[in-house]
Amino acid sequence: MIARTHDLAAITALGVVFLLMPPVTLSLATAMVAVLANLIGGIAPDIDQPTAPLWRNLPVGRYFGRVFGVLLGGHRFLTHSLIGLILLGFLSRMLLTFLHPIMGSINSDIVWWAFMIGVISHLVMDTFTKEGVPWLLPIPIKFGIPPLKSWRITTDSAVETFIILPVLLAFNCWFYFQHYSEIIYLLKHTIVY
C-alpha cells in the first residue's frame, strides 16, 4: 500500500478505537499529538524502505534510508513482523518517556496507543498485498489475505486507488454519520481545554 492509503487506514482505525474505547479525559493537546502520532505510526513500518516518506523528506535521507533498509533486512522484513511491532512499540515508548518532561499536559499513554494503532493498521493493510507480511519472523513465511496471492492487491495499482481508497473513505463517511451523536458526546465530555 502507498502512504495515503496507510494514512487513511490509520486514522480510520483510530476513530473506531476512540468510539469503542474512549479515554476518560483527553486534553486538546493530547488529541492533536495523538492524531499526529497515529499518522506517523501508519507509515513507520516502512522505515525499512529507502524511498519511504521519512527518508524522502530529510536532506540526506536517501543515504540513511539505504543503511536502515540493509540493517532491518530490507523492505517488509523486520519492521513488518510481530517482532518489529514489539520493537517499534518499545522504541516509541522510550522516546515518549524521554520527551515526557517537555510534553507538559500531554498524556503519553494515549499518544503511544495512537502510534501503535497506526503501526498495526499498516501491517494489516500490507497483509492484503501480493507481497504479504512476515508476521511470524524469524519464520520466513509471508502471510497474506486472501491466501491466493493472485487475488491480493498490487501496491499502487488501480485496485488500491479506485477501490480500496474509496472504500476506506466511504466507510469513514458512513461511520461518522452513523455515530455522529456518540462521537460529539464523547468529544464534549472527554476533551478538557
In tens, the pLDDT along 116-147 reads: 999 999 999 999 999 999 999 999 899 999 99
Residues 6+ apart with CB under 8 A from 186: 18, 19, 22
**What is the mean pLDDT of the segment spanning 111-116?**
98
Work out whether strand 26-27 and strand 191-192 pair parallel, antiparallel, or are unpaired. Answer: parallel
Rg over alpha carbons for the chain, rounded to the nearest Å, is: 17
pTM, to two decimals? 0.92
Decide if pLDDT at 172 tops 80: yes
Number of domains in the chain: 1
Domain interval for residue 169: 3-192
Question: Closest by alpha carbon to 37, among 123, 118, 124?
Answer: 118
Residue keyed to cell 543515504: 63
- Three-class SS state of 74: coil
- Predicted local confidence at residue 80, as pLDDT: 94
